[in-house]
Structures are given as structure tokens and as C-alpha cells.
Amino acid sequence: MAAPEVFTIAQVPLTAHAFNADRSKLITSLNTNEAQIYGRQGNEWKPEVTLSEHDKLITSIDWAPNSNRIVTASQDRNAYVWSQTTGADGNSVWKPTLVLLRINRAATYVRWSPKEDKFAVASGARAIAVCSFDADNDWWVSRLLKKPIRSTVLSVDWHPNNVLLAAGTADMKARVFSAYIKDVDSRPSPSVWGEKLPFNTICGEYASPAGGWVHSVAFSPSGDVLAFASHDSTISIVYPGGPAVITVRNSTLPYVSLTWTSEDALVAAGHDCQPVLFSGSAEGWKAIGSLDDAKSGAPLTPVSTGSSSGGRFASAGVGRLGTNEAFARFRNADTLGKSSATPGSPVSGGDSSGDTELMTVHQNTITSVRPYEISANGNVAKVSTSGVDGKLVIWNVSVPAGTGGLSSRLGGMHLR
Amino acid sequence: MSHTVDIPQELKDSLRKFRFARRSAGSAAIIVKINKQKLIMEEVEQFDNISLEDLAEELPEMSPRYVVLSYELKHKDGRVSFPLVLVNWAPSGSETSLLTLHASAFIDFQQTADVSKVIEIRDGADSLTKENIDSKLGV
């Protein structure tokens, strides 16, 4: 089983990331109002094009694989749809088209629909703008889903039938709406969520037991199951018409992003800085384990972090004094409270050496997890994650053998 | 006064015929759109005896139109009259340049159709209800 591919794109947070259809190009925003397209060269991503049109921070990006269009949403209340055309000199150029969303607050999240003829923009205006292209006027038209949203919409996900839309909001509810647009969609066949659904019909409204903002929602590949992650550290799975909402309570920090890998498994990631695999069925769900094998992350001993701390411990590790705990304590006393060169990492709790690197691959919150590679049987084999530490990591969707979870590893460390 | 959009003679004749058609029951409507490429107004469709809900269905969600409506108005004292009402159908999600063109040509259209009563509908199908129009007509 291969180790995850780790790419350090920047030293600043990556607000969002998306790949093109064949995964040769990556678009991401480095916490600014510009988006950068990178091209894969061997084991690295080289910056190629910068898309700058937005006035304020870009909050979300999505790349439509079939029509090769990019949509970016920003705090400046706008969204731009970018199409690739060949310029006069033969180079490809990305041309932006402004979409007037008619919202009066920032856009927070954007996703193309499965057929790529519509996209949904979640916003702080307590509304979701569903945008479609009006060919007669050569213009993107937006319709707002408003009732009964009472706070910022944090994330949206489309159902495979191109009509239903799930939304997670800060009013602690996950809802399923119908985003049926008259001249764009054909009448959808009845599903478990309902039939004959005019625009803005609510097909379901769900909450988790302790409440908390719903950070992320996702439909399963068939569309018959809905999962959402809330700020009360739970993952809830909804089988409409079946049993009540199944909740998986975790003793970890909350998850902020999730994606389904097959009809009975999903990967969630968030403030714990590692992606975790969950699996189950209508009978019950549980966490299987972390995709992060901490052994391959930053080592546990204090001596080998020389490069990240600027060579401070370069001479350590030689002879008996190097591993002496008392010696290490005095040596590290003057680094207490100093932030190390490692980007954005807090001192991890029970680590007596003062090493400020986390044991996970990601050194800070993972903000986005997306499917990267689909295997032959239709399940997602690899996922990509990006986070506040500026890293982009591609994981295999399988729990490394022998990982009893990070807690057992930490326990093992103290026994030294 | 400069004219941004031309009104062809057939449309003027159509409007006259609509105006003088004898009404017995129900509301009738004629829908006119602006052809942006040719910069002329065109009649889209004409309806006899249509309900307001059906009319709202027929009108596009995101595109401006002029609607001359022969509205069946039932007075409090039992009389039924058919006043001509001009509806400025201009949903806010429409394309901006088309909206501006529509607004600039509106006065012209109103003078050609010779209708004094005007109702503005800017937010789409929800506003095109019987109660709304009755209140605007002062009933």
C-alpha cells in the first residue's frame, strides 16, 4: 500500500482546490483574491496561470470535468465562470464571465451540478443562488433558494439527478431542496426524496443531536443517502423513509469536509488534521480509522526535526547525550513559546520534547477533501485534501494496517 | 424624442384590434417582447380568457416583457368591466442590458398602446396575483 503523495504548495492556507478531468492540472487559491492553476510536472506542481478578477478573497472553486469550465466564488458577492479558449498567439487563455448572483453577502461555497449546466452558490445572505445559462440572452441567470434558511449556508452538494440539492447551514440544519429550473431540467423521476418538486421545495430537514453548524453535506453515489458533518463532532447519515438519522459521535475535533467513496463508506476530515474513513449501512455506522499512518508523518523523537527548525538540533543525536531526556529538556527550554519554522503548527499536547510538528501529514486543519481517483468498480480509490498548512495530499482510501488510531500511538510514546 | 426600439406597423394594428375586441368573459392578454438584435418590438403571443396563474406560467422568469392585459374587473356593485392594463414585466434577474433597453422603450410602447393604467412587476410570478392587480386598480 503506497504512502500518501504530499505536495507543499505554499506556506499559506489553501482556501480551496479542484482538479481537472485527467488530474494534470490543479487550481487553488492561496487565501487571496486570485486563483492559481498549477500543472503537474513529475512530482511537483508548477504554477502556470493566474486568474485574477475577483476583488476579495476567493472562498470556493470547482472545476467541471466534462465541459472544462471553472467557477470561482468570492467574498465580493460574485461568481465568475471561466472558459478556456485559444488566444491569438495559440496559447490557451481563461476567459471570465461574471455571474450576477444578486446576493448581498459573501459567497461561501460553489459546486457544479452533475450535468454541468447549473451550479449552486452558497452564501452568507441566507440564500443559495442556483445559476443556469440563458442561451437567448447569453447570460447566466440566478434564482435564489431562500425559505427557510435562517443563517449562512456553509456547503452544498448536488444529487445525481441534477435537480436535488443538499445544503448545510449555520442554523444547525442540513436540508434537501429542489433546485428544478423550468427550461433547463427535464422532469426528474421520483426518488426517495419525493416527486413533482417545484423550485424551492424542501424535501427534508435534519439536525444532529447536540446541534452545531453543519459544515459539510454530501449525497451518496446513488443519491439515496445523505451524510453531514456538524460542529458537535458528529457525522450523521440520513436514510430517508428508513430509520431515524444515524449519528456517529466522535471524541475527536469536528470534521469540516466529507466525501463519499462508495455507497457504504465515506472519508471525513477537519480540525484533527487527518482524513478518517467511516463505513456502515442502514443498520449502523462507525469510524474505521484514519487514512494517515502516523509512522510516515513527522517522527516522534525530538532530534530529527533539524531541517524545519533551522538547524538548531543539527548536532543532536550524537552519542549518549543526544537522547538523554534531561539534556533535551534544558536544550529545548529556550524554544518554549517560540514558533518554529514549521508553518502554522501548534505544540502538540503530550509531546515532552517541545517538538512543534504534528504527527500527522497535515500540520493544520484540513479544509477540503475531494475524490481524486475512481477505481474500476466505481468506488473512489484516492482522495485529495488541502488545508490551512498549504499542503495538498493525495491519500489512498484504505486504513494503514496496524493503526489503532493515533491515541494508541501517543500512549506508546509516553511509555518510553 | 429619440426612439431606441422601433414599433412595426403590424404590432400597432394588433394592439388596436386587441383594444377594440368585444370582451364577454375572462381576462385576455397580449405579450410583446423586444428583439435585441433587430431592435424592434414583436408580439409573442395572444391569449383569450386566461387566468392570472396561467399567464404567470407563460411569462419568462428571467426576461422582460410588455403585457397588455384586458383585465376582467368585478366591481363591488356587481358590474363587470374590462379595463386595459399595461403590465411592465421586468424580473430583476434578467440580463442588465436587455432590462435597460426595455425600460427605455417603455414610454414609447405605452403611448402606442394608448393605455393609461400601468402596473410594474419586478419580482416575478409571485406578484402577478388577482389581489395585487385589484388593489392596484383601486377595488
| Whole-angstrom distance, CA of residue A302 vs CA of residue A407 | 19
Residue B126 to chain A, least CA–CA distance (Å): 13
Domain B9-136 falls under CATH 3.40.20.10: yes
DSSP state of A352: T
pLDDT at B104: 93
| Whole-angstrom distance, CA of residue A294 vs CA of residue B41 | 70
Residues with Cβ within 8 Å of A318's Cβ and at least 6 positions away in sequence, in order, are none
Residues with Cβ within 8 Å of A394's Cβ and at least 6 positions away in sequence, in order, are A4, A5, A372, A382, A383, A384
Closest-approach residue (CA) in chain A for B36: A137
Nearest to B92 among A102, A136, A138 (CB): A102
The pTM score is 0.81
pLDDT at A67: 93
Write the DSSP string, B95-129: -HHHHHHHHHTHHHHHHHHT--EEEEE-S-GGG--
| B98: chain A residues, CB-CB within 8 Å | 137
Residue B93 to chain A, least CA–CA distance (Å): 6
ipTM of the complex: 0.78
A134 with B92: Cβ contact below 8 A? no
The 3-state DSSP class for residue B18 equals: helix
| Whole-angstrom distance, CA of residue A227 vs CA of residue A205 | 12
For chain A, 416 residues long, the average pLDDT of each consecutive 10-residue run is 83 94 93 93 91 95 95 95 85 90 95 95 96 88 92 96 95 94 85 86 90 95 94 93 85 94 94 93 90 53 36 46 70 66 42 66 94 90 94 89 46 40
B62 with A141: Cβ contact below 8 A? yes
3-state percent helix, strand, coil for chain B, nearest multiple of 5: 35, 30, 35
**Count of other CB atoms within 10 angstroms of residue B76:** 6
**Can you read off the three cell numbers belonging to residue A70?**
471553472
Residues with Cβ within 8 Å of B112's Cβ and at least 6 positions away in sequence, in order, are B7, B11, B12, B15
Decide if B93 touches A, using CB distance below 8 A: yes
The class that CATH gives domain A7-292 is: mainly beta
Residue B33 to chain A, least CA–CA distance (Å): 13
The 3-state DSSP class for residue A305 equals: helix
| B95: chain A residues, CB-CB within 8 Å | 134, 137-139, 141
Decide if B100 touches A, using CB distance below 8 A: no
pLDDT at A104: 94
Decide if B98 touches A, using CB distance below 8 A: yes
Closest-approach residue (CA) in chain B for A144: B93
Q: Exposure of A43 by Cβ count < 10 A (0-12 exposed, 13-18 middle, 19+ buried)?
A: exposed
Chain A interface disruption, residue of B42, B58, B61, most A CBs within 10 A: B61
Residue B88 to chain A, least CA–CA distance (Å): 19
| Whole-angstrom distance, CA of residue A228 vs CA of residue A217 | 4
Residue B130 has pLDDT above 80, yes or no: yes
**Gyration radius of chain B's alpha carbons:** 15
| A100: chain B residues, CB-CB within 8 Å | 93, 96
| Whole-angstrom distance, CA of residue A276 vs CA of residue A268 | 5
Chain B interface disruption, residue of A121, A139, A146, most B CBs within 10 A: A139
Least confident of A322-336, A366-380, B3-17, B80-94: A322-336
pLDDT at A412: 40
Q: Identify the CA nearest to A107 among candidates A159, A61, A65, A143.
A: A61
| Whole-angstrom distance, CA of residue A83 vs CA of residue A294 | 41
Residue B95 to chain A, least CA–CA distance (Å): 6
Decide if B61 touches A, using CB distance below 8 A: yes
Closest-approach residue (CA) in chain B for A101: B93
Residue B138 has pLDDT above 60, yes or no: yes
| Whole-angstrom distance, CA of residue A153 vs CA of residue A109 | 8
Q: What is the mean pLDDT of residues B97-126?
A: 90
Contact pairs from chain A to chain B, CB under 8 Å: 26
Residue A73 to chain B, least CA–CA distance (Å): 18
Contact between residue A228 and residue A175 where contact means Cβ atoms under 8 Å apart: no
